[in-house]
Amino acid sequence: MGEHYYQGNISKERYDRQLSIPGWGSEAQRRIAASRVGIAGAGGLGSPAALYLAAAGVGALVICDSHTVDISNLNRQILYSSADVGMEKTGLAQERLRGLNPEVEVERFQGRLKDENIDGIFADCDLILDCLDNLESRQMLNRYCWRTGKPLLHAGIREFYGELLLVDPPDTPCLACFLPESEKKKEGPPPVSGPVAGVLGSMQAVEALKFLGKIAPTGSMGRLLLVDLVSMSMDSVPISRRHGCPVCSPDSHINTGD
Ligand SMILES: [Zn+2]
């Protein structure tokens, strides 16, 4: 991990309430402070995930998004306010996160992630959060993570439902093992309740902190968590490597970086 992000002493006052959790403590906090996390998508999932990771003292965040704020974003994208409509999301996110915790380094990339630019954006990240809203970008991010051996924490939301999965190449199956190969014909943006984005984005932050700090087991490692906020229940199912998966099967042309 990038030890260079963190210089000086851990702020005991700022992190007081988390440092006393059994298994956390200053060693785990130092690991968190030495970590760099990529956040692909600064929307409904990326907003709570980035806010909690900055608040918890992750050393560096790299925020990527290609959009400006639209008024229809504001039912769930809690990084932004009504006065922000029309402005670039990553600039606003950077300012808000720096204000929340000046100890955290916040970098931004305003633009669409592509095969040609993704290496330069996420190269030094220890973990990347998939907070995206389309299959094509997810598949591309998955291929990149598999090729470079970077852990990828996926979340998805629709209506009152969500899913979460931590992929750790080459030990777990990859995202392409269970995501469909092509998107169904779109009939406008998917409906979603704001707090459902809040729950799943917050779950990404919890998993990320446990994983980076080596604080506690990560229940979503290789297991797909299915969150149902109608019945208020959660299930987890192990993911199997799909035979002939174009990304992670032994005969694929993409070799993991590990
Ligand atoms: Zn796969």
- 227-237 pLDDT, tens digit each: 999 999 999 99
| Domain, as residue range, for 62 | 3-238
Tell whether 157 is covered by a domain. yes
Neighbouring residues of 41: CB distance < 8 A, sequence distance ≥ 6: 64, 65, 130, 131, 132, 133, 137
- 97-135 pLDDT, tens digit each: 999 999 999 999 999 999 999 999 999 999 999 999 999
Q: Which residues surround ligand 1, an ion (CB under 5 A)?
A: 174, 176-177, 245, 247-248
Q: How many angstroms does the Cα of residue 115 sit away from the middle of ligand 1?
A: 18
Q: How many angstroms does the Cα of residue 130 sit away from the middle of ligand 1?
A: 16
CA triple 33-92-195, angle to 5 deg:
80
- The candidate with the shortest Cα–Cα distance to 58, out of 221, 208, 219, 214, is 208
Tell whether 245 is covered by a domain. no
Tell whether 155 is covered by a domain. yes
Beta carbons of 88 and 238 less than 8 angstroms apart = no
Q: How many angstroms does the Cα of residue 188 sit away from the middle of ligand 1?
A: 28
Q: How many angstroms does the Cα of residue 126 sit away from the middle of ligand 1?
A: 20
Q: How many angstroms does the Cα of residue 167 sit away from the middle of ligand 1?
A: 10
Q: Which residues pair with 226 in a beta bridge?
A: 163, 235
* pLDDT range class, residue 247, cuts 50, 70, 90: very high
Tell whether 251 is covered by a domain. no
The number of folded domains in the chain is: 1
Regarding beta strands 36-40 and 127-130, do their DSSP bridges make them parallel or antiparallel, or are they unpaired?
parallel
CATH of the domain at 226: 3.40.50.720
Average pLDDT, the chain: 94
Tell whether 90 is covered by a domain. yes
Tell whether 246 is covered by a domain. no
Tell whether 248 is covered by a domain. no
Tell whether 124 is covered by a domain. yes
Residue 187 has pLDDT above 80, yes or no: no
Residue 17 has pLDDT above 60, yes or no: yes
